[in-house]
Amino acid sequence: MAYRKNIVITGASAGLGEGMARRFAAAGRDLALCARRTERLERLAAELKEHHPGIRVVTRELDVNDHDRVFTVFREFRDELGGLDRVIVNAGLGKGQPIGTGYFAANRQTAETNFVAALAQCEAALEIFREQNAGHLVVVSSFSALRGMPRNLTAYAASKAALATLAEGIRADTYRTPIAVTALLPGYIESEMTSRAGTSRTPLLAGADRGAAALVKAIEKERPKAYVPAWPWAPLAAVVKALPLGVLRRVV
């Protein structure tokens, strides 16, 4: 594993992105943070630089659905930091409704943000990594990507499954090169998204600090795939894959 100094995190103004930024800052890494909510992003950057004065933190406003700007921002980050060592494709959307119930717009927005916009981020990152002949691409998928999911999760799970498959394809294309690719499949971790989704009361929910620590630990290992936190989500993966569909729809 290489030491990754310059790290890009998209969707860094809250939730998992913010938690990872705090952990990497404490480890002395230089950060390139982007998100739509610039006020929160700037407050976070100022706090990180105050608590960790030896690091650099640069920020940009970015809506990842503005695909041309994704490429522009990533190149600006590269130029400002003198190269990029790791890009964490974290920005995502959790809304959705059962298919065929009149909410195509919400499901389309989820699919576009979680996959098409993620594809743009992967393209922008890999252009830089191929030029450098080095780098680590990390995509934040979801435990729900393991199976087709019912109700409000259907479009979300499908988009995250597509993202995990995209990561594997990139890994196959860069196999035995200095470019590493990791897909993270988080379970329930405390965040704005889990609160809105109504999963904040599940006994499986990991606190935000524990979740961020588990994500960063998995990223640093640079394995191809990681369930996060490993307990209980790694053993649960085998169970979920084996469940009959009728049972699955009752337990999720």
Question: Considering 156, 175, 188, 227, which one is annotated as catalytic?
Answer: 156
> Are the beta carbons of 205 and 12 closer than 8 angstroms?
no
Catalytic (active site) residue 156: yes
**With left for phi above 0 and alpha for psi between -120 and 50, is residue 31 left, alpha or beta?**
beta
User: What is the DSSP secondary structure assignment for residue 30, as one 8-state letter?
Assistant: E
What is the number of helices (H) and of strands (E) in the chain?
A: 10, 7
How many other CB atoms are there within 10 angstroms of residue 63's CB atom?
A: 14
Phi and psi based region of residue 53 (left: phi greater than 0; alpha: psi -120 to 50; beta: remaining)? alpha
Count the Cβ atoms, other than its own, within 10 Å of residue 160.
Answer: 29
Apex CA 245: angle with CA 161 and CA 203, to 5°? 75
**Residue 192: what are its φ and ψ, rounded to 5°?**
-60, -35
AA identity, residue 128: I
Tokens of 21: 């930024």
State the first-to-last Cα distance of the chain, in angstroms, to the nearest integer: 36
Catalytic residues: 156
